[in-house]
């Protein structure tokens, strides 16, 4: 897989100073970034979030998902710990792309859930490819992760490609009336794990 490191720079944020690494994905003609804080070297598991791009949630403040709050919460948790990384992967809409995501949103407006919408468009429920992480982890010499995620499939995908996930840390935030069905679908059809105090509504 042709993932090439391009350059790194400082990135000041409301949560503190991160270092941003840019990677070119030649096969997919995409660009990915990793944000790190603190000394990420050594054998201690690194607090990390593997976050797939969500323009609507991350940048446009959509309440249809929990992506934006998850990204911000991850940056906050890393700042509190003083050490960690966010792997920001350009895999919009669980891998179907922005325009198809808008098509899927239209189908959701008409009554489909997020999985049904993707499948009606001819896609799988989740098209993301986590193998692009491997060369990034190797470049940064990261050996083990404390992964902030509610998605056991993500943990399994990383472990199957040889990444050590020392711990899965529940990462629940951003629940609101507009995404209640979305969260319920993630739990019921995609196997996401939610603590009892933050169970999605069943309506």
For the stretch 108-135, pLDDT in tens is: 999 998 889 989 999 988 888 999 999 9
User: What's the rounded Cα separation, in Å, for the pair 88 and 136?
Assistant: 11
What's the pLDDT score for residue 199?
Answer: 44
**Beta carbons within 10 angstroms of residue 35's beta carbon:** 22
DSSP characters for 54-96? -IIIIIS--SSSSHHHHHHHHHHHHHHHT-EEEEEE--HHHHT
What's the pLDDT score for residue 196?
Answer: 53
What's the pLDDT score for residue 202?
Answer: 34
> Could you tell me if residue 103 is inside a domain?
no
> Could you tell me if residue 27 is inside a domain?
yes
Q: What is the CATH number of the domain that holds 23?
A: 3.40.50.10990
What's the pLDDT score for residue 165?
Answer: 95
> Could you tell me if residue 182 is inside a domain?
yes
> Could you tell me if residue 147 is inside a domain?
yes
> Could you tell me if residue 65 is inside a domain?
yes
What's the pLDDT score for residue 201?
Answer: 39
User: What's the rounded Cα separation, in Å, for the pair 159 and 14?
Assistant: 32
As a whole-number percent, the residues of the chain with pLDDT over 90 amount to 69
Domain count for the chain, please give it. Answer: 1
> Could you tell me if residue 148 is inside a domain?
yes
Strand intervals (E) in the chain: 3-13, 16-25, 30-37, 46-52, 84-89, 144-148, 164-169
In this prediction, the residues of the chain whose per-residue pLDDT falls under 50 are: 197-203
Which sequence positions are flagged as catalytic? Answer: 126, 128
> Could you tell me if residue 203 is inside a domain?
no
The range of the structural domain enclosing residue 76 comes to 3-91+128-198
> Could you tell me if residue 118 is inside a domain?
no
């Amino acid at each position: 897989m042709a993932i090439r490191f391009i350059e790194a720079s400082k990135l000041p944020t409301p949560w503190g100073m991160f270092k941003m690494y840019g990677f070119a994905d030649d096969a997919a003609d995409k660009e990915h970034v990793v944000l790190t804080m603190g000394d990420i070297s050594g054998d201690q598991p690194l607090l990390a979030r593997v976050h797939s791009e969500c323009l609507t949630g991350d940048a446009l403040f959509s309440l249809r998902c929990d992506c934006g709050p998850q990204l911000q919460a991850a940056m906050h948790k890393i700042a509190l710990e003083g050490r960690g990384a966010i792997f920001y992967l350009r895999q919009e809409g669980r891998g179907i792309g922005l325009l198809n995501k808008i098509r899927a949103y239209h189908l959701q407006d008409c009554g489909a859930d997020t999985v049904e919408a993707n499948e009606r468009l001819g896609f799988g429920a989740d098209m993301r490819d986590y193998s692009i992480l491997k060369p990034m982890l190797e470049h940064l010499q990261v050996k083990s992760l404390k992964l902030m995620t509610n998605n056991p499939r993500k943990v399994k995908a990383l472990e199957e490609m040889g990444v050590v996930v020392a711990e899965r840390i529940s990462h629940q935030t951003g629940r609101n009336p507009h995404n209640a069905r979305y969260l319920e679908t993630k739990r019921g059809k995609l196997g996401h794990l939610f603590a009892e105090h933050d169970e999605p509504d069943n309506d």
